[in-house]
Amino acid sequence: MNDIDDLVQRVAIRASSDNEDLPTPVDGVQIAKAEAQLGFALHPLLVRLYCEVADGGFGPDYRLLPLFGQGSSVVGEYLTRREASVGVEHPEWPEGVVPILTWGCAMYAGVDCLSEDGRVLLFEPNPYSGGSWEQCWFLDSAGLAVWLETWLAGTGWFEEDAFDRDDLVEPQPWDQAASRLSSGA
């Protein structure tokens, strides 16, 4: 067993202990359908989570979105946000970043499927004041695996008691936001 196998197993254990009614995991056909609609491959760890743990319904706070479905879903939210970002002077959503979780108040956690480690980004639109959306994008974690580890350990910035800790690491402005938003990639 490698580190990722161990991580997926620990996530599955935590997910089932947090929620007795987890959605059924997706299969390869649903992953292929999602990737065809998105126009790019999902990050491999994200694929494993959806195929081996559940179709959303687990994770921090509001829990991961389902891949498809009524209401908010990974594919639906991405396509809606990208459609609104194509051909406009100031795109809001970069290509390849799939929203996986809503934090409420229009905030999302997203996985950058174009990055090797699947960096996790925070989209926080509340500081938007017109013009570029780059100030609304933050690097939450350098990779999806690290982000999951903080959830498992209860050490993420999103934990209820996070601001009482001395070792809190808050999301920082995403240094690639301007280039990724302007390039379409």
pLDDT tens for residues 20-71?
Answer: 899 999 999 999 999 999 999 999 999 999 999 999 999 998 899 999 988 8
Model pLDDT, residue 170: 80
Confidence at 169, pLDDT banded by 50, 70, 90: confident
Q: CATH code at 48?
A: 3.40.1580.10
Count of domains observed in the chain: 1
Nearest to 29 by CA among 49, 12, 56, 47: 47
Express each pLDDT in 65-89 by its tens digit.
999 988 899 999 999 999 988 888 8
- Which is more confident, 184 or 166? 166
Domain that holds residue 76: 3-183
Check pLDDT > 80 for residue 161: no
